[in-house]
Structure 1
């Protein structure tokens, strides 16, 4: 059971939740107020929804032995375009206006994902360089769209996406669940998942076997752009504003960490979407824990990085084997000699 890819992520998540429970006994308490559920666990799911979305798209990109550093910028651009479109309307709560703004943001996110895919698959640029271009330029585009200011909107319709609720649960949870189901169906119920793993393991052999590697690579970058675009809508609608400078900042690093914690290798090949979801929840729970125990803001990132490093070391089978070997050698120094003479 310890070799299952979900074992250690679930253990780490359980340990974090247990620590929070011991530190704050009412951490697990959930109350129903005005038809909405409130509580720390609900907040983790709600505030972690954008990161889960970005991490799902990042998983498929990493499975092809790629990486997308531009997801944070796409998050900022998506929210900026949506809020700018809504702010120019006379009736900001109009369903038609909000739908137009949403479709415009998602269409642009798809185009940006296509741009990354073209640079990687078509132009043959290294993924880290190709997406670094949009990471830098995209943040500038988001600031141009917002004119360097924070665009605020007063739209109850748009606010419902990130701050509304359905069946007493935050609506963002249902959006994430829908995208996760779509990703699982496409990658586990069709041949697309095998194509992605094949391209990530050996793109040359995949091409010789008849798989259109370039199309597979472009597809995962487009999907990653779509996930980042939806995450941008969730973030901006939750606060009814768009900040081109800070929205989605460092999301690419958190998404990569979530994918790695979930068991997917940066070398490409096998990928685990459910592991990625658990990894994203670990990061969000860790963030909530840091804020709850009152860690000073200036060392928050340091504490977070130390904990994430410890999680990655715990998950590493090589690290665990080395520790166990040294422990046995120290406590049972004659064990090797005994084993050596056993026929």
Structure 2
């Protein structure tokens, strides 16, 4: 019996990332050059990782939601809420640790709200999270009084501008969260249960999986990672801008998951490949920026490049290539 060899699931996303990085290297030979400036690692590649950190955190939470065949359109608004809570707490004299706890608690509350609507009330995910997407930014504006709330707290600001062993803090935060989540879903049955719900929710219930609790958990996690992204964004500018924090980052987070090999039909969960997708998207944006294209042309070029990458990774194309290989082998 003739069998066509299929590529491993990680191959297309990793190949896409390497192609984008190679193009950037060809166009800008110094792209991979790293330098130490005042004890801080710098370079174009480091900039890609730092600038992509907030979207990477959003995508890490979104990956679990999408794996259950859901979607979270509220992550940008949750970023704004968490940033507003943290900045308001710091401006009121709270310690930086308390501000982080308050912000994460706000994100958790938002995620639990979404999870209850989807998991227990069985609302469509796109409708349930759209409610918080619309109301969330208004909540953030109420917290800040409709103005940019600033603060002066060096330890909190270090979450965006600090370093540890020359490595910028945002990179370490994203890497730590990705590793912890990977250990969580691969060293326990949680990952299998999440993917089982995405493949067939009814079958998952019949084998004893508490689908409601799992759905609530993944949305709660999405809220926490969005809050963490909001904390980094707030620390970066030392203030909370409820109008612009996380604005329109939801499509980027969804796109990152898809570029990492995730499926909007559910059933696939890989936090490592989600990071690969985040690097791919931000490398495209950085390459276009370095090339000096005008903003309008940059958006068009990014859309074209992303479309090509998505077509290459499409399951239908992969199946067609396998069938073609089978026919060649048979002949």
TM-score under structure 1 normalisation? 0.89
Distance 1:220 1:151 in 2: 31
> SS at the partner of 2:95?
helix
Of 180-189 and 162-171, the range deviating more from structure 2: 180-189
Task: Give me the CA root mean square deviation.
Answer: 2.1
**How far does residue 224 in structure 1 lie from its aligned partner after superposition?**
0.7
Write the mapping of 1:106-121 to structure 2, written as runs, cut at 5 A.
Answer: 106-121=104-119
The structure 2 residue matched to 1:262, chosen from 260, 263, 282, is 260
Distance 1:78 1:317 in 2: 37
Higher Cα Rg: structure 1 or 2?
Answer: 1
Counterpart for residue 62 of structure 1: 66
**How far does residue 280 in structure 1 lie from its aligned partner after superposition?**
0.8
Unaligned 5+ segments in structure 2 are: none
Write the mapping of 1:309-328 to structure 2, written as runs, cut at 5 A.
Answer: 309-319=307-317
**Residues 10 and 85 of structure 1: CA distance in aligned 2, closer, same or farther (over 3 Å):** same
TM-score under structure 2 normalisation? 0.93
Distance 1:55 1:157 in 2: 26
Of 108-117 and 178-187, the range deviating more from structure 2: 178-187
Query: What do residues 34-90 of structure 1 show as CA deviations (whole Å, max 9, x unaligned)?
Result: 11111111111111111111111111001111110000110111111111111222x
Distance 2:6 2:165 in 1: 36
> SS at the partner of 1:32?
strand
Write the mapping of 1:80-119 to structure 2, written as runs, cut at 5 A.
Answer: 80-89=84-93, 97-119=95-117
The answer as to 2:13 corresponding to 1:9 is: yes
Contact 1:152 1:240 in 2 (8 A): yes
Counterpart for residue 167 of structure 1: 165
**Residues 297 and 213 of structure 1: CA distance in aligned 2, closer, same or farther (over 3 Å):** same
**How far does residue 152 in structure 1 lie from its aligned partner after superposition?**
2.1
Query: What do residues 245-265 of structure 1 show as CA deviations (whole Å, max 9, x unaligned)?
Result: 111112211111111111111
Runs of 4 or more consecutive aligned structure 1 residues displaced over 6 Å after TM superposition: 323-326
Unaligned 5+ segments in structure 1 are: 90-95, 329-334
**How far does residue 183 in structure 1 lie from its aligned partner after superposition?**
0.9
Distance 1:114 1:131 in 2: 11
Counterpart for residue 44 of structure 1: 48
Contact 1:106 1:229 in 2 (8 A): yes
Distance 1:320 1:191 in 2: 29
The structure 2 residue matched to 1:148, chosen from 131, 146, 149, is 146
Aligned residues: 326
